[in-house]
Structure 1
Amino acid sequence: MRIELVSEPGDPARPNEDFASVGLPASGQGGSLVVLDGVTPPPGDDGCLHSVHWFSARLGGALTELSVSRRDLTLAEILSRSVLRTSEAHSDTCDLSHPRTPQATVVLARWSGDLVEYLVLSDSALLLESPAGEVTPVLDDRLSRVPRASLASDAIADATVRNKEGGFFTAAADPSVAARAVTGTVPRAEVRALAALTDGATRWVEKFEEGDWGGLFTTVRKEGAQALVDRVRTLERADAEARARLRRSKTHDDATVVFVEW
């Protein structure tokens, strides 16, 4: 099995708000991956004493543990329990009803000898590659369908559409959000490799239009996960003056890629 994990902050002076892990059970049978993209809030009060980095690490740790140890639970149930566990860790000190309480996008994947399960919530991505080399993206596109007039900026959505019907959903403090995730299963024989990416890495496709999902996957397979992040950084630096035209809120973003091949 080949496993690669790269997670790089957009700004070395700030904590990386992404989280990534690969869990392999002691039995050696199957495994799981977790990728989160913490949502950077705008300046001002968010009702919480804790950072987005803290939240991503807490939620990511719970997801990693449960996806490995509780194979009797669906991925949606694991997300629900992990959100609840994380909420309980700071409900006594923080206002979790605040619309900008720490939150994150989620990608979960778990595989056994005969099945691959997946869950995607918000705008991180999961790519599945077939034995024939065909790449299928698993996406939650609700954020991209929100009218731009409803968004305060490219990265920060207004409270009227975040975690609201008709808007888009992220993992924050409400365990019921798990029911909003894109979920499914695929026979293990139909998947030879997969990749999970935060939107700091998917910019190669979605912002810069350097290629399609198959091209991105080929880059990671042939050159490695770090090569994809390096390419995105080069494009960002070259295009810094076009930020307004491309409606990007920041030149660089935290970028995470997890690649698994069996």
Structure 2
Amino acid sequence: MRTELVSEPGDRARPNEDFASVALPASGQGGALVVLDGVTPPTGGTGCLHSVPWFTARLGGALTELTVSLPDVPLTEALSLAISRTSESHAHTCDLSHPRTPQATVVVARWSARTVEYLVLSDSALLLESEDGTVTAVLDDRLARLPRSALATDALIDSTLRNMEGGFFTAAADPSVAGRAVTGALPRSSVRSLAALTDGAARWVEKFREGDWTDCLTLVRKDGAGALVARVRELESADAEGRMHLGRSKTHDDATVVYAEW
């Protein structure tokens, strides 16, 4: 089995808010990957004493452990348990009801000898490659489908859309949000590789239009996860003011790619 993990901060002067892990249980019968993209809060309070990297490390660590140690528990339940565990660790010091309490997007994939299960929450991506080379992108596109006018200000987003019906959902403090994720399962024999990308890496497709999702996975398989991130950085630097690709809130974003092939 081949696995690769690359995670690069958008700004080396700031901590990387992404989390990524690959776990291969000692039984040798399968594995799992977890990718989180911490949501950078706007200037102002979040109701929490802790940073986004603290949160993603706690949630990602718990989710990795639960996904591997409880192989018969559905991924939605594993995410719910991980959110509960993380919330309990700081509920006594922080206001977890604040709309900007630390939160993250989530991608989880778990494979056994028979199946490949997956979960996607918010705007990170999971790519699944079949035996015939067909690539399927598993996306939670609720945020992308919202009209630009609804996203005019952070205050408007927080009061009407963030973790609300009709808006979009992230993993924050409410365990029930796990039930909002995009989930599914496939026979292991029908999948030969997969890749999880935070939106900072998915810019290659979604913002810069360098190719489609099949081209993206092909690039990672042939040249490595680091090559995808490096190309995104080149494209960002060439368009530092975002004139060609509107909608980028940051010139450079944290970019994470995890790839697994068998």
Q: Give the TM-score, by structure 2 length.
A: 0.97
Does residue 39 of structure 2 align to residue 24 of structure 1?
A: no
1:183 maps to which residue?
A: 183
- Counterpart CA distance in 2 for 1:207 and 1:158 is 24
Confirm whether residue 213 of structure 1 aligns to residue 213 of structure 2. Answer: yes
Q: After superposition, give the CA deviation of every residue in 1:185-231 in whole Å (9 maximum; x if it has no partner).
A: 00000000000000000000000011000000010000000000000
Instruction: Give the equivalent residue in structure 1 for 2:224.
Output: 224
The residue number in structure 2 matching 1:12 is 12
Residue 164 of structure 2 corresponds to 164
Distance 1:249 1:242 in 2: 9
1:1-262 to structure 2, matched below 5 A, reads 1-152=1-152, 157-243=157-243, 246-262=246-262
> For residues 74 and 139 of structure 1, what CA distance do their matches in structure 2 show?
19
Per the alignment, in what secondary structure is the counterpart of residue 145 of structure 1? coil
| Larger displacement relative to structure 2 (140-149 or 44-53) | 140-149
User: Does the 8 Å contact 1:38/1:52 carry over to 2?
Assistant: yes
SS at match of 1:246: coil
Equivalent position amino acid for 1:78 in 2:
A
TM-fit CA distance, 1:28: 1.1
Maintained 8 Å contact 1:130/1:190: yes
Instruction: Give CA-to-partner distance per residue, 1:110-132, whole Å, 9 cap, x none.
Output: 00001000000000000000111
SS in 2 for 1:6: strand
- Check the 8 A contact 2:208/2:245 in 1, yes or no: no
Superposed CA offset, 1:11-60 (max 9, x none):
00000000000011111110000000000000000100000000000000
Write the distance in 2 (CA, Å) between the matches of 1:121 and 1:181.
5
1:150–1:158 Cα contact (<8 Å) kept: no
Q: 1:117 to 1:100 in 2, by over 3 A?
A: same
CA deviation after TM superposition for structure 1 residue 71, in Å: 0.9
Rounded to whole Å, the distance in 1 between the matches of 2:161 and 2:63 is: 26
Q: Which moved more, 1:192-201 or 1:22-31?
A: 22-31
The residue matched to 1:100 in structure 2 has which SS?
A: coil
Q: 8 Å contact 2:135–2:214 — kept in the other structure?
A: yes
Alpha carbons of structure 1 residues 194 and 173: separation in structure 2 relative to 1, 3 Å: same
Provide closer, same or farther for how the CA distance between residues 244 and 210 of structure 1 changes in structure 2, counting only shifts above 3 A. Answer: closer
Which structure 1 residue ranges, 4+ long, deviate > 4 Å from structure 2? none
Q: Sort the Cα spacing of 1:174 and 1:220 in 2 relative to 1 into closer, same or farther, 3 A.
A: same
User: Where do 5+ consecutive residues of structure 2 fail to align?
Assistant: none
CA distance in 2, matches of 1:256, 1:27: 27
Residue type at the aligned position of 1:159: S
Alignment partner of 2:105: what SS?
strand
1:159 is paired with a residue whose SS is helix
Identity between Structure 1 and Structure 2 (%): 75
RMSD of aligned residue pairs (Cα, Å): 1.3
Q: Which amino acid aligns with 1:199?
A: D
* Counterpart-to-counterpart distance in 1, 2:160 and 2:76: 25
- Do the aligned residues in 2 keep the contact of 1:151 with 1:158 (CA within 8 Å)? no
SS in 1 for 2:232: helix
Distance 1:244 1:91 in 2: 43
TM-score w.r.t. structure 1 length?
A: 0.97
- Deviation of the 1:152 alpha carbon: 4.0
Letter paired with 1:149: S
Aligned partners of 2:27 and 2:98: how far apart in 1?
42
What secondary structure does 1:227 align onto?
Answer: helix
